[in-house]
């Protein structure tokens, strides 16, 4: 039995969980549309009955984010899932993303990106996913004066059903405004973070109940301009988890390694 939860869930935890703190108290995301490439590789190693089983999931998404102003202190966000592709090795099952193109979702957020409400939209075709995974795509930018070298700590809670498992995740994010830099040809802040998280969940797969517990660490870097443009992020993350199958008392240890990158596509 290969637990597919690890490949589909842990790969996105830190990608959507980190927040950012800006250098300017007057920061706000700029209105306008931008397209992003999101590439992720998730490697999973599990041990079942003394046998090591390994697999890998690689995904590539293209996403358009349109930021509008609903009110002075409220942004109206519209997301369009332009395309997606996926490949796997080993026993990792490949989710069907062949017809997600054109799927839309929307939300309301503060001018610094904190979500007030989110509608994941409707899947373009039965059997395809909606856009729940993109709810926190934009980093939340704390409106506080920060200077190069300053650091701060946030705690983020993420809940949801992933791969048939109800998952609760707590992420402690230690961030540092590393420097002012140039990224993708634009002046931006480089914000570095150290991530430490715990995961717990319960559910069923293939008709079998299971419980998961785990911990992990990671490093993430965000690039955001003072004019309110999100340029991209990079992430490296490793987690160690244990899956327990109460019905037969089986315990399956697993290690998940994730690398991901978000890049703005220039028009």
Beta-sheet pairing, 103-109 with 230-245: unpaired
Three-state SS for 29? coil
Per-residue pLDDT of the chain (267 residues; tens, 9 = 90+): 555 544 334 344 444 445 555 554 578 899 999 999 999 999 989 888 788 889 898 999 999 999 999 998 999 999 999 999 989 888 877 778 888 899 999 999 999 888 899 998 888 777 778 888 888 888 887 756 667 888 888 888 877 777 678 888 888 988 888 888 999 999 998 989 899 999 898 988 778 898 989 999 999 999 999 889 999 999 999 999 998 888 888 888 989 999 999 999 986
Q: 30: which DSSP letter? A: P
**Which pairing describes strands 51-71 and 151-162: parallel, antiparallel, or unpaired?**
unpaired
Q: Decide: pTM greater than 0.75.
A: yes
Query: Residue 163 has which token pair?
Result: 């791969």
Backbone angles phi, psi at 96, to 5 degrees: -85, 110
Contact status, residue 68 vs residue 76, Cβ threshold 8 Å: yes
Torsion of CA 177, 185, 58, 164, to 10 degrees: 50
Q: What angle do CA 160, 162, 163 make, to 5 degrees?
A: 155
Chain Cα centroid distance, residue 181: 24
Residue 3, judged by CB atoms within 10 A of its CB (0-12, 13-18, 19+), counts as buried
- As a whole number of angstroms, the distance between CA 118 and CA 134 comes to 10
Identify which of 180, 224, 236, 219 has the alpha carbon closest to the alpha carbon of residue 11.
Answer: 236
Look at residues 30, 10, 14, 35 and name the one whose alpha carbon lies nearest to residue 222.
Answer: 14
Reduce the DSSP state of residue 79 to 3 states and report it.
strand
Residue with tokens 């002075």: 72
Using alpha carbons only, give the angle 13, 15, 18 rounded to the nearest 5 degrees: 90
Element (DSSP H or E) covering residue 154 = strand 151-162
């Amino acid at each position: 039995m290969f637990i597919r939860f690890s490949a589909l869930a842990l790969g996105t935890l830190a990608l959507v969980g980190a927040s950012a703190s800006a250098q300017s108290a007057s920061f706000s995301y700029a209105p306008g549309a931008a397209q992003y490439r999101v590439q992720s590789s998730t490697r999973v190693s599990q041990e079942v009955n003394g046998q090591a089983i390994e697999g890998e999931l690689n995904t590539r998404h293209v996403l358009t984010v349109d930021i509008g102003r609903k009110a002075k202190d409220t942004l109206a966000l519209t997301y369009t899932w332009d395309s997606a592709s996926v490949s796997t090795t080993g026993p990792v099952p490949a989710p069907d993303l062949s017809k997600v193109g054109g799927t839309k979702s929307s939300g309301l957020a503060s001018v610094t990106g904190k979500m007030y409400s989110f509608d994941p939209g409707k899947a373009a075709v039965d059997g395809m996913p909606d856009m729940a995974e993109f709810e926190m795509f934009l980093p939340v930018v704390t409106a506080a004066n920060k200077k190069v070298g300053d650091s701060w700590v946030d705690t983020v809670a993420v809940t949801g059903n992933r791969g048939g498992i109800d998952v609760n995740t707590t992420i402690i994010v230690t961030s540092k405004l590393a420097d002012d830099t140039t990224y993708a040809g634009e002046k931006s802040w480089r914000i570095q973070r150290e991530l430490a998280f715990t995961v717990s969940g319960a559910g069923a797969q293939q008709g079998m109940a299971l419980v998961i517990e785990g911990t992990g660490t990671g490093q993430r870097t965000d690039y955001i301009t003072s004019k309110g443009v999100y340029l991209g992020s990079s992430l490296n993350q490793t987690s160690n988890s244990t899956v327990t199958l109460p019905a037969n008392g089986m315990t399956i240890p697993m290690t998940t390694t994730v690398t991901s990158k978000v890049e703005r596509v220039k028009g």
